[in-house]
Structure 1
Amino acid sequence: MSNNKLYRGSLTTIIMRLLEQEGKMYGYEITQRVKELTNGTMDVKEGALYPSLHKLQSEGHLKVEAEKVENRVRKYYSLTPQGEKEAVNMMQELKEYMENMQAIINPKLSF
């Protein structure tokens, strides 16, 4: 299950959560962390990642810092103060969504 519709619809939330936890990350690092956390079952493609990062940046949720690493410029992404607030909101929305899905999928376990 590498890039189904559910994962693609959650990419922005995944990015925001990782940056909330890690502080700052560069693109390839984000893709590798997702693979690591999902035991390789989720593969974030660059073609999906970078447009999402650019959109979050244009919305004011991310800031970008360029650093020279081994004679290459690497762009690090981190949350702005606005992005930090948005990440909290996204996590709350995700929690509510997961609770609702659980109620639908397995109503006997719902409270």
Structure 2
Amino acid sequence: MAKHKFYISGLEQDLLSLLKNNNGFYGLEILKLINEARLKHKVKILTRGSLYPTLERMENQGLIASVKSKQEKTPSRRYYTISSHGLSSLILVEEYRKRLSAWRSSDET
């Protein structure tokens, strides 16, 4: 069994959160959705050169899974989904951040 990854970068958390409630997205779809959210918050956009190595690393760590889908008239696409390990790791990090935020709020009063 894979060990839970407690530290997840902001990009990894964004990717896991995006995949959490969906049946899978292919790379360019992920890039578009992440960048739409980043532009709304005036955060630096994500490039293919950052996305694909991150997806590969996350898959190697067991946080996500992918399936290659063959297309008749277009190049094949790799669809990414969150794994049970990725979901539980995301939940741990979200809970930690909530506790940290509550602690900071109570410390300010």
Structure (1/2) with the larger helix percentage = 1
* TM-score normalised over the length of structure 2: 0.72
Quick one: structure 1 residues 22 and 71, their matched pair in 2 at CA, closer, same or farther if it must change by over 3 Å? same
More strand by share: 1
The answer to whether the Cα contact below 8 Å between 1:61 and 1:80 also exists between their aligned partners in 2 is yes
Q: Any stretches of 5+ residues in structure 1 without a counterpart?
A: 1-8
Greater relative contact order (Cα < 8 A, sep 6+): 2
TM-score, normalised to structure 1, is: 0.71
> Residue in 2 aligned with 1:5?
none
Q: Contact 1:27/1:76 (CA < 8 Å) preserved in 2?
A: yes
* 1:11 and 2:11 aligned: yes
Q: How far does residue 96 in structure 1 lie from its aligned partner after superposition?
A: 4.0
Aligned residue number for residue 27 of structure 1? 27
Question: Post-superposition shift, 1:40?
Answer: 7.2
Count matched residues.
98
| Gapped regions of structure 2 (runs ≥ 5) | 1-8
Identity of aligned residues (%): 21
Q: Work out which of the residue numbers 65, 86, 90 in structure 1 matches 2:89.
A: 86
